[in-house]
């Protein structure tokens, strides 16, 4: 279960690989938003935690500019930094994308010119 310093809001854009951790990270009465499934769309869920802790789960694909600005402010306010797993020149994009699709990456893959 989440500790006393758990956030009331969480965002999961990874999917199956991080779902259990994301769910545990949200405190009672909090909201967990999922907006991506880069590691898969099917994840086992602790239903007991969801209803006992009264956690709201929301999914979103796109949003307004205002919502994007609010998300960026959330990221800045909470000092969230993405994990960069690889920096790849565009010439290596085909292999890097294959690695992402096959689940052999960790963190974000950044493509450069």
* pLDDT tens-digit series, residues 9-58: 777 777 888 888 889 889 999 999 888 888 888 889 999 999 999 999 99
pLDDT at 1 over 60: no
Alpha carbons 90 and 64: distance in angstroms, whole number: 30
Report how far residue 31's alpha carbon sits from residue 83's, in angstroms, rounded to the nearest whole number: 22
**pLDDT in the model for residue 110:** 93
pLDDT tens track for 65-112: 888 889 889 889 999 888 899 999 999 999 998 888 787 888 889 999
Burial of 78 (0-12, 13-18, 19+ CB in 10 A): exposed
Average pLDDT of the chain is 85
Which fold, 1-64?
Answer: Rossmann fold (3.40.50)
pLDDT number for residue 101: 78
Segments making up each domain of the chain, as ranges:
1-64
């Amino acid at each position: 279960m989440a500790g006393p310093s758990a956030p009331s809001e969480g965002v999961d854009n990874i999917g199956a690989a991080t779902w259990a951790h994301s769910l545990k990270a949200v405190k009672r009465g909090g909201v967990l938003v999922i907006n991506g499934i880069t590691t898969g769309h099917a994840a086992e869920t602790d239903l007991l935690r969801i209803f006992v802790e009264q956690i709201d789960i929301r999914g979103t694909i796109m949003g307004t500019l205002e919502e994007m600005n609010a998300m960026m402010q959330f990221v800045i306010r909470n000092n969230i930094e993405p994990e960069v797993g690889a920096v790849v020149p565009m010439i290596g994009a085909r292999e890097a994308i294959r690695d992402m699709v096959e689940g052999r990456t960790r963190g974000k893959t950044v493509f450069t010119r």
